[in-house]
Amino acid sequence: MFKKLLFITALAVTVVSCQFTEIMVLEEDGSGRVSMEMDFSEMMAMGDSFGKDTTLVKLDTIVYMKDILEEKKDSISQLPKEQQQNLKKLKNFAFRTKMDPDTKKMFFNIGTEFTNVEQANELMNAVENSGAFMQGTGDDMKVGNDEDSEGVIAVNYSFKKGKFIRDAYIRDKAKHKTQMDSMSQAETFLSTITYKLKYTFPKKIKKVSVEDATFSLDGKTLEFERSMVDYMKDPDVMDLEVELEN
């Protein structure tokens, strides 16, 4: 996670704010779709204040990770076995890039479907642990051996008998402390980044553990957000319990 944020910071030095959104849509049988979206629309809007960039074009592309992994298989085969396994877990993911200079919208989304919410744990943690993949996408993707690519924050999801739980935790406290010490140098920039959860459930929400969550008109979708810095310091701030109506 920390390396991703440094990457985002390098892109968005002049950005007032940008946002990560973790999106999940759950079906009644426990299957669904999960994705991570990165929104840089404000960076697009601010670009006009420095003069319109005529090199920007409207773009909407989808890259399938199974194609990239096949293309880069020789490089991947040189990685440690554990990192190879993490990358191979991404084979059913798709990476979408959308940019529209006219509407000032730009976002990236990586997501996949799952057959049960426990599988979503493995899939999302694979994204966290895929430091080599995060070095680029598509034709620009580089695969390298990064021993520190493993994320220090992990998430467990559960969905049983109409109750959904999201439990974030620190995987390695020593590595987490090291990252927090390093983060202090970039905290001014990182404080403008927010982390949002947007979850849609198969039934209307009866009860939720987060007081400031907002809900859709049909009562099935909730959203709430926190500062990314706060989440990195204490992942418990994004913990969530949801009870659905029968």
- Domain extents in the chain: 2-244
* pLDDT at residue 44 in the model: 65
Predicted pLDDT at 48:
53
Q: How many whole angstroms separate alpha carbon 87 and alpha carbon 85?
A: 5
Write down the pLDDT at residue 10: 45
Q: In the prediction, which pLDDT does 145 show?
A: 47
pLDDT along the chain (246 residues), means of 10: 44 57 93 90 60 67 90 86 81 88 84 89 70 47 49 88 94 86 74 90 96 96 93 93 95
* pLDDT for residue 41: 79
pLDDT of residue 138: 44
Cα–Cα distance for residue pair 246/237, rounded to 1 Å: 28
pLDDT at 241: 97
Q: What is the reported pLDDT for 208?
A: 97
